Structure 1
């Protein structure tokens, strides 16, 4: 398992600063489709859709996209979700980092390898942050394509 520092930094950026993540073109396309779907459903006027599409085209970060999609019903990740992700991630990563440092100091100073008790924070914390991250990501990613078996069952 070769985990590089830039991979860890990118993960920390996505968890601690989700609104500052650079926008991918697929995420921009997904937002355009959500605007079009809202117009088709009648929940968004043509004027608001045109404004939203212009803002989506000019968005550079996920925060820009979230603000642009604010007029689309259900189009943007709620700010409470983004703040919960940031807060839970900061507590989880910060707490685990402090525990690893303390554990390493105890091990070095005491010249005795103790059990990695910091895992009791690392693993359960992932079960809290993971669902928050997944919920936040659903606003930027399309749903996976259905399989042929499902499509043939519908037909």
Structure 2
């Protein structure tokens, strides 16, 4: 009986495991290098500010802008249907919420600037 190694068969993979581990180790090393490169790109993009904080900032800004848009739309419809220009009550939300969202953007931006200057 000749001992031909058929690496594609199940028996070939089971009988020669040391040869099969090398590609797995190489794949694991490649995955590790990809993960490290992705982490470096993320850190460079975010200037060291946690990604969750940046995402939260964006979500809050989008929610605020959406609420303001809906309120302005409702105010416009009330003014058109009523035939009179109604008091712009939406200014309270736009102004107050804008200050909060703007303060949040400045605070996170200043943290990123401080980290950049420290490096």
1:102 matches 2:74: yes
Note the C-alpha offset of 1:81.
Answer: 1.7
Q: Which residue of 1 aligns with 2:49?
A: 77
In the superposition, relative to structure 1, how do residues 116 and 66 fare at CA in structure 2: closer, same or farther (>3 Å)? farther
Structure whose residues are more often helix by fraction: 2
1:7-18 equivalence runs, <5 A: none
In the superposition, relative to structure 1, how do residues 65 and 93 fare at CA in structure 2: closer, same or farther (>3 Å)? farther
Where relative contact order (Cα < 8 A, 6+ residues apart) is larger, the structure is 2
In the alignment, structure 1 segments of 5+ residues that lack a partner are 1-54, 56-63, 144-155
In the alignment, structure 2 segments of 5+ residues that lack a partner are 1-36
In the superposition, relative to structure 1, how do residues 105 and 134 fare at CA in structure 2: closer, same or farther (>3 Å)? same
1:67 matches 2:34: no
1:128 matches 2:103: no
More displaced stretch, 93-102 vs 82-91 = 82-91
Return the alpha-carbon distance in structure 2 between the equivalents of residues 103 and 65 of structure 1.
47
Return the alpha-carbon distance in structure 1 between the equivalents of residues 77 and 54 of structure 2.
34
TM-score (norm: length of structure 1): 0.43
How many residues are matched? Answer: 78
In the superposition, relative to structure 1, how do residues 113 and 89 fare at CA in structure 2: closer, same or farther (>3 Å)? same
Say what the alpha-carbon RMSD is for the aligned residues: 3.0
